[in-house]
């Protein structure tokens, strides 16, 4: 008999046996092809080293100006926090809060939480409440958008170069390296190894047997009466007639399927569709200068980049700010309708669509960061000033709502129709 522990796929719920991977290898689901886990050599030490370096760079990136704009001897500079403060001062507090949340608070929370978890382990001690700190790491990683901020800064620099002399600041380079380090942290941190180390420390240095079940007669975790934790991956036995519980390891909410997944996804999608119209029709920026006033929509900004010769950035902005939100809404509608009708058409392909939707959602924040930098720097009063337009709030809401919609949708519903055929 094979006594290897069982693991359930987060995307299709298929029960499979764990296996030993070669160095750097990846285990994928036999049914949907989703990633189950990876072999990450020296995972926790690499994650800790990258985290400590990232925290130093984070402090530098937020203490010094990102970029400056020089006109007739006047130099206007801004930090990221300063840019958010200007938006708040101009009454655009929803956008200021969104920028602060996604580029400052969440990356900081992720780094502090990982350091809190890994430093004690490195010193041979147990961190207090590792369950809570672990959940913070997972949550913050979903909302930190430093990589999108960097692309937004590049687009803003191209636009600013046509207004005045651009002076790159120390923080610009610090944010670039920080982006690489945050990616390294995400690639290195292995929840499986972390919880194995926690279990070993609690057991007095001897790694206990894996708590996951080793046998199940059903095809999926739900049919076997097992909860799958989407945060730490632990399988746990559900109590009789229970439909939800708490993970005994990390404390996350457990459920066989996300509660009211279809209804909640529809609610977020309908709100996003309504706001998508003003987000594209209303002005994203209001520019006042000696030559008059100008109101730019997202599309006019793309046209400006194209006619200025920066066609690669024009393509990127068009895809991220116009095509991605629209295609994401269409894709989610398709997934929700097909799951609602219990369609068994190409479940593997529909799962792939879900993965793409979940991955690209954050990149639509690009235009928000571009507006943030332009508003903060183009403040030359008599010569020119830029203010965020009403479309910025609507567009930011669309991005957040579509991300919530993707998080609310349960991809395991795609496979329930296939389960019906095998029942």
Can you give the pLDDT at residue 120? 94
pLDDT 10s digits, 225-238: 899 998 888 898 88
SS3 259: coil
Tokens at 25, concatenated: 């290898």
75 φψ region: left (φ > 0), alpha (ψ -120 to 50), beta (else): beta
State both tokens at 343: 């369609």
Residue-level pLDDT at 287: 72
User: Of the candidates 362, 364, 384, 406, which has an alpha carbon nearest to the alpha carbon of residue 72?
Assistant: 384
- Give strand ranges (E) for 204-347: 226-228, 235-237, 244-246, 253-255, 285-289, 292-296
Domains annotated on the chain, with CATH: 43-189 (no CATH), 260-423 (1.20.140)
The position carrying tokens 């708590």 is: 211
Sheet containing 74-78: which strands, arranged edge to edge? 74-78, 67-71, 165-168
Q: What are phi and psi of 120, to 5 degrees?
A: -60, -40
Q: Residue 278's closest CA among 408, 406, 398, 421?
A: 398
How far are the Cα atoms of 17, 36, 210, 215, 304 from residue 2, in angstroms, in the given order? 9, 19, 14, 9, 63
* 365 exposure class (CB count in 10 Å sphere: 0-12, 13-18, 19+): buried
pLDDT per position as a tens digit, 44-84: 999 999 999 999 999 999 999 998 887 777 778 889 999 99
- Per the DSSP assignment, residues forming a β-bridge with 386 are 287
Q: Quote the CA–CA distance of 18 and 74 in Å, as a whole number.
A: 63
Chain centroid offset of residue 130 CA:
22
Report the relative pairing of strands 235-237 and 244-246 from DSSP bridges: unpaired
Per-residue pLDDT in tens (0 to 9) along the chain, 423 residues: 456 688 999 999 999 988 888 888 899 999 999 999 998 888 999 999 999 999 999 999 999 999 888 777 777 888 999 999 999 998 899 999 999 999 999 999 999 999 999 999 999 899 999 999 999 999 999 999 999 999 999 888 888 887 778 888 899 999 999 999 999 999 999 999 999 899 888 776 544 444 456 555 568 888 888 999 988 888 988 887 777 889 999 999 998 999 999 999 999 999 999 999 999 899 988 776 555 567 778 888 888 778 877 788 788 888 888 888 999 999 999 999 999 999 988 999 999 999 999 988 888 898 899 889 888 887 655 556 788 889 999 999 999 999 999 999 999 999 987 765 554
- The pTM score is 0.89
> What one-character-per-residue DSSP string does 390-405 give?
HHHHHHHHHHHHHHHH
């Amino acid at each position: 008999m094979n006594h290897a522990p069982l693991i359930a796929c987060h995307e299709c719920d298929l029960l499979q046996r764990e296996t030993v991977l070669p160095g750097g290898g990846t285990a994928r689901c036999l049914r949907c092809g989703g990633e189950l886990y990876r072999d990450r050599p020296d995972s926790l030490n690499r994650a800790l080293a990258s985290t400590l370096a990232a925290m130093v760079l984070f402090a530098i990136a937020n203490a010094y100006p990102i970029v400056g704009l020089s006109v007739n001897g006047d130099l206007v500079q801004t930090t990221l926090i300063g840019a958010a403060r200007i938006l708040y001062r101009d009454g655009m507090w929803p956008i200021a809060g969104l920028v602060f949340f996604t580029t400052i608070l969440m990356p900081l929370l992720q780094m502090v939480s990982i350091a809190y978890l890994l430093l004690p382990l490195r010193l041979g001690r147990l961190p207090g409440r590792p369950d809570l700190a672990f959940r913070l790491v997972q949550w913050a990683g979903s909302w930190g958008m430093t990589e999108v901020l960097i692309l937004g800064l590049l687009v803003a620099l191209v636009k600013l170069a046509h207004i005045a002399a651009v002076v790159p600041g120390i923080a610009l380079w610090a944010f670039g390296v920080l982006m690489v380090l945050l990616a390294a942290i995400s690639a290195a941190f292995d929840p499986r190894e972390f919880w194995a180390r926690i279990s070993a420390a609690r057991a007095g240095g001897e790694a206990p047997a894996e708590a996951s079940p080793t046998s199940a007669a059903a095809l999926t975790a739900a049919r076997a009466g097992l909860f799958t934790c989407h945060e730490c991956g632990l399988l746990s036995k559900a109590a009789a007639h229970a439909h939800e519980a708490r993970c005994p390891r990390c404390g996350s909410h457990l459920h066989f399927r996300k509660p009211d997944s279809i209804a909640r996804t529809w609610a977020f999608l309908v709100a996003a569709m309504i706001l998508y119209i003003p987000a594209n029709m209303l002005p994203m920026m209001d520019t006042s200068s000696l030559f008059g006033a100008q109101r730019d929509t997202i599309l006019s900004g793309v046209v400006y980049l194209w006619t200025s010769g920066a066609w690669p950035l024009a393509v990127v902005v068009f895809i991220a700010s116009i095509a991605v939100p629209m295609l994401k809404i269409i894709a989610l509608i398709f997934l929700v309708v097909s799951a609602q009708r219990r369609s068994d058409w190409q479940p593997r392909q529909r799962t792939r669509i879900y993965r793409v939707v979940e991955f690209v959602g954050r990149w639509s924040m690009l235009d928000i960061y571009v507006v943030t930098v332009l508003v903060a720097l183009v403040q030359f009063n008599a010569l020119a000033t830029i203010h965020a337009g009403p479309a910025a709030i609507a567009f930011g809401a669309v991005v957040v709502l579509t991300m919530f919609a993707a998080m609310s949708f349960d991809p395991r519903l795609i496979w329930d129709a296939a389960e019906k055929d095998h029942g």
